[in-house]
Structure 1
């Protein structure tokens, strides 16, 4: 019942009519998550069997009395392992923190999900401390993309378990975090929709902080409408979806977002552009050197390294011998960073924000490939240089939205028989309603042409 063609709205209608029950949905999600030959053992760090069942019983009682709370009432939802849950240690994918002091209360977004009636089925696996776009975790296992799973194709990260929990029907939607693409990369690699809202839209209190400058929280789901429904709960304010009353105006990805893209990605992107233009979008080339400031920012340094070490350095040094060394060594660079580097990064970022505003003046969004490559194999990332090189390429396009303090949505643009590919719509700060509206329209146009 939890599958590609059943939306949150349709499930809610079934719950209201009594043709399905929350208990049935939760049992289906738990059965998939606990299946010995499934991905649940790698997708989750903890499964909340008893709590999810209790939430389902309470939800069914509310539906029976006509007092359902929200569009998410009774639906199985997963949360990333960096969100506080009362009475549990928040490990953020680090087994060394499994004996940490339990959280005194739920994070605000968890409180909002519970108040909405959602049945939280568990905490999902992630790259340790959310510090990679690959989604690998040597402690809890590496969640794998549904595409060519037997080959060990990665799910992307850092919200790897979140994406797999939705792709495999272990949750209707998932909550992830996004510092440089950690919602959108795994969504693209698993054939899903991922929404990174403007950072201030969703409260981040009670969630592990990688970068105070770049972190944001948002949903992964099977459709734009589903992401819209979840975002309304997380932000405690639904976005007003809208149509512009004219043709959509899209800036085309400049060379910075296309360099190094593989043939499958480029073909899917170009095919999607053709369909969107035919359906009523106007496409505008951007200057060839557009967004090069994003590359300069990346080459100069890392907000996550500097801010992450500044906030967590003492803790990281204490547990270094129990960490993924590929994560620790990149954090450690923050210890000896040059004085003034963070201020330099902030200056480049400010210039990039102004540059993006100029580029998108009169446009609704910039459209481009979400990720430059298709999901690579775990085996091809064992070498540390390959790990770093691939991580940088995977995050290059998505990081732009975080750098500009903007918003972005990835939707599937996969051609039948090919690897999963996502295309993204990126907008300036506060343009969330426009971006979601545009993505919903594009999703419908691409689906209608399939």
Structure 2
């Protein structure tokens, strides 16, 4: 079986838009091509929870008819999009990666999905996620664990919780995908799967209609093939002009020592150092900075996120349903019930203090730079019920991403180019809150210097 080429592999969103408007392709042909790729590849990759083939083709027909009659919805028109299965989509089930019915906590589709529809996007399906978006591994032994498309010989992790979204983009099973990020759940999978992941400033896009992991920390954002594609998505959904690539010379990056832990794998460190050296050679200044307060981030994140998750989930629901959950997720929710109101209030108070003083940490600096993950994508040990096995896997998938959420910053994972025989690494960029356009401009500039990540060799997957 020969499957169609990925319609956006050449030229990205901009190139696709040009071909669509010149009649070289259609929304129907593009959607059909992605559906064929899903049918061939996803039985092994397991990136989708639900594929809405008839609805997607019907929506594509409507897009083609609209374009033929002179109606143009903008640069995202006709692009098949995959949506993380903790976000409600009209006419599709939402499982939140769980066997527990939490539809009442999610509600109907929210403002973000209305924006996607208004932009002319075609939702092709729902991607798999870690249960309740509460883990950074990508593992979900009750509803299925997506496989990293960068290794056909070894089942490797995608990271989480936007596991299926990142893998689907990497494998060319959608034009771009939507994920959520509470503590790194967009950036982590983007790094492990070699795609671009954007965590916007909280509040830029509404999170209604998505599972409430943490009311304080949740964000919705895109996973794309490139920084350029992310900038186009950003502009289309915000109603602004596309952020242009920044001028390289004169950019100043801070390198927080806390983000470069001794846990950093040597091969990841070498890739990061090579990228930073190339940026420096192009005119970027990189300075080491000491921010001792970053050591407070993980405890604050745990207290705030688990307390808010337990509060939204409820003790009675947990009592009735905990046995239906992945054991590690059930244990995390249970820990949230043990957090006292005083502990939560103190954590929120300290968070606000750190957010206020963090603005000074960016004085004279355009962005922070660091790793996304400490290591490379580990092998999947298989379905498990042991909490110790879960903890070991979580540790293998860890990285310094939570500061952006706790401090109200915006951040991205920029995939670094690499040989086809090696595994992906992401370069993390972090900017002040509400500096999202600056973040995207920097990412685009760095992409021009470093180049773009290749697409994985998928010949070892699927029915060809």
Same fold per superposition (TM over 0.5): yes
2:172 corresponds to 1:169: yes
The one-character-per-residue Cα deviations of 1:220-274 (angstroms, maximum 9, x if unpaired) are: 0001111122223444545644636951110013134333010111001100000
The answer for the alignment partner of 1:308 in structure 2 is: 309
> How has the CA–CA distance of structure 1 residues 444 and 36 changed in structure 2, closer, same or farther, with 3 Å as cutoff?
closer
Higher relative CO (CA 8 A, sep ≥ 6), structure 1 or 2? 2
More divergent stretch after superposition (124-133 vs 138-147): 138-147
The answer for the alignment partner of 1:267 in structure 2 is: 270
> How has the CA–CA distance of structure 1 residues 448 and 185 changed in structure 2, closer, same or farther, with 3 Å as cutoff?
closer
The answer for the alignment partner of 2:35 in structure 1 is: 30
Q: CA deviation at 1:288?
A: 6.9
- Once residues 346 and 274 of structure 2 are traced to their aligned partners in structure 1, the CA distance between those partners, rounded to angstroms, is 39
Give secondary structure in 2 for the equivalent of 1:151: coil
- Once residues 36 and 361 of structure 1 are traced to their aligned partners in structure 2, the CA distance between those partners, rounded to angstroms, is 47
- Once residues 72 and 320 of structure 2 are traced to their aligned partners in structure 1, the CA distance between those partners, rounded to angstroms, is 47
Q: TM-score, normalised by structure 1?
A: 0.92
CA contact (8 A) 1:256 1:290 kept: no
> How has the CA–CA distance of structure 1 residues 173 and 430 changed in structure 2, closer, same or farther, with 3 Å as cutoff?
same
CA contact (8 A) 1:112 1:233 kept: no
The one-character-per-residue Cα deviations of 1:181-207 (angstroms, maximum 9, x if unpaired) are: 100111111100000000110111111
The answer for the alignment partner of 1:430 in structure 2 is: 434
Structure 1, unmatched stretches of 5+, are none
- Once residues 256 and 115 of structure 1 are traced to their aligned partners in structure 2, the CA distance between those partners, rounded to angstroms, is 39
The answer for the alignment partner of 2:346 in structure 1 is: 344
Q: TM-score, normalised by structure 2?
A: 0.90
Residues 225-304 of structure 1: pairs in structure 2 closer than 5 A: 225-238=228-241, 240-241=243-244, 243=246, 247-287=250-290, 289=292, 291-298=294-301, 301-304=302-305
Q: CA deviation at 1:405?
A: 0.6
Q: CA deviation at 1:339?
A: 3.4
The answer for the alignment partner of 1:134 in structure 2 is: 137
- Once residues 150 and 28 of structure 2 are traced to their aligned partners in structure 1, the CA distance between those partners, rounded to angstroms, is 30
- Once residues 395 and 407 of structure 2 are traced to their aligned partners in structure 1, the CA distance between those partners, rounded to angstroms, is 18
> How has the CA–CA distance of structure 1 residues 360 and 29 changed in structure 2, closer, same or farther, with 3 Å as cutoff?
same
Q: CA deviation at 1:336?
A: 2.1
Q: Of the candidates 9, 23, 26, which is equivalent to residue 21 of structure 1?
A: 26
Count of residue pairs brought into register by the alignment: 446
- Once residues 417 and 319 of structure 2 are traced to their aligned partners in structure 1, the CA distance between those partners, rounded to angstroms, is 43
- Once residues 436 and 14 of structure 1 are traced to their aligned partners in structure 2, the CA distance between those partners, rounded to angstroms, is 25
- Once residues 449 and 158 of structure 1 are traced to their aligned partners in structure 2, the CA distance between those partners, rounded to angstroms, is 22
CA contact (8 A) 2:417 2:453 kept: no
- Once residues 263 and 337 of structure 1 are traced to their aligned partners in structure 2, the CA distance between those partners, rounded to angstroms, is 37
Q: Of the candidates 35, 52, 56, which is equivalent to residue 52 of structure 1?
A: 56
Q: CA deviation at 1:413?
A: 1.6
- Once residues 37 and 231 of structure 1 are traced to their aligned partners in structure 2, the CA distance between those partners, rounded to angstroms, is 28
CA contact (8 A) 2:417 2:450 kept: no
The answer for the alignment partner of 1:122 in structure 2 is: 125
The answer for the alignment partner of 2:406 in structure 1 is: 403
> How has the CA–CA distance of structure 1 residues 70 and 39 changed in structure 2, closer, same or farther, with 3 Å as cutoff?
farther
CA contact (8 A) 1:89 1:103 kept: no
CA contact (8 A) 1:8 1:72 kept: yes
Please, what is the CA RMSD of the aligned residues?
A: 2.4
2:448 corresponds to 1:447: no
The answer for the alignment partner of 1:223 in structure 2 is: 226
> How has the CA–CA distance of structure 1 residues 414 and 240 changed in structure 2, closer, same or farther, with 3 Å as cutoff?
closer
> How has the CA–CA distance of structure 1 residues 256 and 411 changed in structure 2, closer, same or farther, with 3 Å as cutoff?
closer
> How has the CA–CA distance of structure 1 residues 115 and 295 changed in structure 2, closer, same or farther, with 3 Å as cutoff?
closer
